[in-house]
Amino acid sequence: RGPTSSTQVGRSVQPPALPRHSPPTKAPPQICYPGSATEMDREAKKEGFRKYLESSGVLDTLTKALVALYEENDKPSSAVEFVQQKLGGPSISDYEKLKAEKLDLQLKYNELLETHKETSRQVNMLSCLQNTPNAIKEYRLCNATLPIYMGVSVSASNAYLDIIKL
């Protein structure tokens, strides 16, 4: 037969080259023979799920929506949107409007929250200032030093100075 090593008469034997990007291989399908335990388990699961859909009313609801679509003289351009409306969901345009409204409300909420924080800070500062004598003191709030001069407070807020009369 000749030499059995990887080199035969001066030639090397190399394995065939694999493609660089081979598609992922799927697991072979499970073979179910009629009457086998696996086939009976699968059928039992299907039957149980069908009974669940029927008892919960899903089948009736879907059937009514599909019958309404079938009986529609002027077929809608989007069958999915038609079925969604029949099932009680918002239309795509209504959904987009609701999304835009939610975004606007979120922006307003964020603005109001910032205003509330600033107002709370000012109320806190003023309540602390009421309890101090009119002597020169320093009040520290949010890492800002606010000197108090004879009943007049200088408040540093938003990169400008406000003079608040006590």
For 149-164, letters b (16+ CB in 10 Å) and e give eeeebebeeeeeeeee
Closest C-alpha among 121, 19, 53, 156 to residue 45: 53
Sketch the domain layout of the chain as residue ranges: 34-89, 91-166
Please name the residues in contact with 135: beta carbons below 8 A apart, sequence gap of 6 or more. Answer: none
Are 58 and 80 spatial neighbours (Cβ–Cβ below 8 Å)?
no
pLDDT in tens, the chain (166 residues): 445 544 455 555 555 555 555 555 666 666 666 667 777 888 899 999 999 999 999 999 999 999 999 999 999 998 988 998 899 888 778 889 999 999 999 999 999 999 999 999 988 888 877 766 554 444 444 445 455 444 444 444 443 344 444 4
pLDDT for 33 equals 66
Residue 17, Ramachandran bin (φ over 0: left; ψ between -120 and 50: alpha; else beta): beta
Specify the pTM: 0.38
